[in-house]
Amino acid sequence: MSININGLSIDLPSDTRVSLLDLLRDHLDLAGTKKGCNQGACGACTVLVDGERILSCLALAVQYEGRSVTTVEGLSTEGVLHRLQRGFIEHDGFQCGYCTPGQICSALGMLAEVKRGMPSHVTGDLADGSIVLTRDELCERMSGNLCRCGAYNGIVDAIAEFAETTK
């Protein structure tokens, strides 16, 4: 019974109640992923599972046996920040920083969804398979990540710029 976290194979805890979030933070000392509401309302605990964004607080670790999880710690390589992380710094995409790891993981998952043509609530023509990531589209797709500091303008700018350079 193992799970892959940022490239390392980890044994799952025997207690089935352990959430993926608690496994990361309390068992593996990967404290980058944050516990905000612990009930699926804030997005601070967002991680990527096989490239898809999910909420680790509503996930039992045991459900994800055999899957590959990427947390914010897994985004940088040898101490060099991911370009989206640098973008958050350049655009003042945070104040307290608590929501930031969730914002960044969510944005990466979101951009993969856009790339494959996934529509959103504000998409006009559902039949059109290509999405233009307007500000409205970006905000709607990131609505599951709250920022109590209200750094949304910087967050949107950082994600929009990264999206533009990785088209």
Indicate the residue among 140 and 161 with the shorter CB distance to other proteins. Answer: 140
First and final C-alpha spacing in the chain: 38
Q: Which residues bind other proteins (CB under 8 A)?
A: 15-17, 19, 38-40, 43, 46, 52-55, 58-60, 62-63, 106, 109-110, 113, 116-121, 123, 126-127, 129, 139-145
Indicate the residue among 9 and 39 with the shorter CB distance to other proteins. Answer: 39
Whether 45 contacts 55, CB under 8 Å:
yes
Indicate the residue among 96 and 122 with the shorter CB distance to other proteins. Answer: 122
Residue 45 beta carbon to other proteins: minimum distance, rounded to whole angstroms? 9
Pairing of strands 2-5, 68-70: parallel
Residue 126 beta carbon to other proteins: minimum distance, rounded to whole angstroms? 4
Residue 59 beta carbon to other proteins: minimum distance, rounded to whole angstroms? 6
Helices (H), the chain: 20-22, 83-90, 100-115, 135-141, 152-165
Residue 80 beta carbon to other proteins: minimum distance, rounded to whole angstroms? 27
| Neighbouring residues of 134: CB distance < 8 A, sequence distance ≥ 6 | none
Indicate the residue among 16 and 165 with the shorter CB distance to other proteins. Answer: 16
Q: What is the C-alpha to C-alpha distance for residues 10 and 2, in angstroms, rounded to an integer?
A: 5
Q: What is the C-alpha to C-alpha distance for residues 131 and 68, in angstroms, rounded to an integer?
A: 27
